[in-house]
Amino acid sequence: MIEAELKARVKDVASVKDWLGKQVAPEAATYQDVYYDRDDEMTGSDRELRVRTVSTAQSRRSVLTYKQARVDEASGSKPEHETEVSNPEAVASFLLDTGYTEYVRLTKHCQNYAFQFAGYEVLATLVHVPELDGAFLEVETLVSEARLHAALEALGDLLRELGLENELESGTYTDAILAARSR
């Protein structure tokens, strides 16, 4: 499956929260992400290897994610493969022992809104990354490659409804964090 995703910078957080809150109640979550690489093998070929731990008021779960190279340059959408892991420390130990290094570690404070839009199961996530200024909205849905462009159009329509069509961000959080840390 491909994660069709668009990300926008949010200037009026209250308005976005209001619109999304009319769709569904949010779920607060904290994402602890650790990205791994080996001699620029992943980043040099536009791929990602990540262990993410998601904590909510009700649960805590960890996921190993592998993202292949972009299939849509403008949005940055990538084929994504995930599996839940019961012991993220064991996965980290395996990766480190096999030559991977920790590329970047980051925290995302999120409000997740899952709802139907234009026939798609959409996850809209209002994101605050402590090391970055401002807020972001990620809108995503999982689709087959054949449905990617239609899904991206629908996600674009959702951002237009929110007044964010001119605020698209194509960069990654990892790149933004590394740039912020190098200043």
Whole-number Å distance between alpha carbons of 62 and 82: 10
Q: How many domains does the chain have?
A: 1
Q: Could you read off the pLDDT of 66-82 as tens digits, one per residue?
A: 999 999 999 999 999 99
Across the chain, which distance is largest between two alpha carbons, in Å? 47
Give me the average pLDDT of each 10-residue run along the chain (183 residues): 96 98 98 98 97 98 97 94 98 98 98 98 98 97 97 98 95 94 92
- Alpha helices (H) along 2-130: 13-21, 88-97
- Structural domain span for residue 158: 2-182
Round to the nearest angstrom and report the end-to-end CA distance of the chain: 37
Return the structure tokens found at 142.
């999982």
Single pTM value for the model: 0.95
Gyration radius of the chain over CA positions:
16
Rounded to 5 degrees, what are φ and ψ at 77?
-65, 140
CATH number for the domain harbouring residue 158:
2.40.320.10
Q: Which of 100, 28, 31 is nearest to 62 (CA)?
A: 31
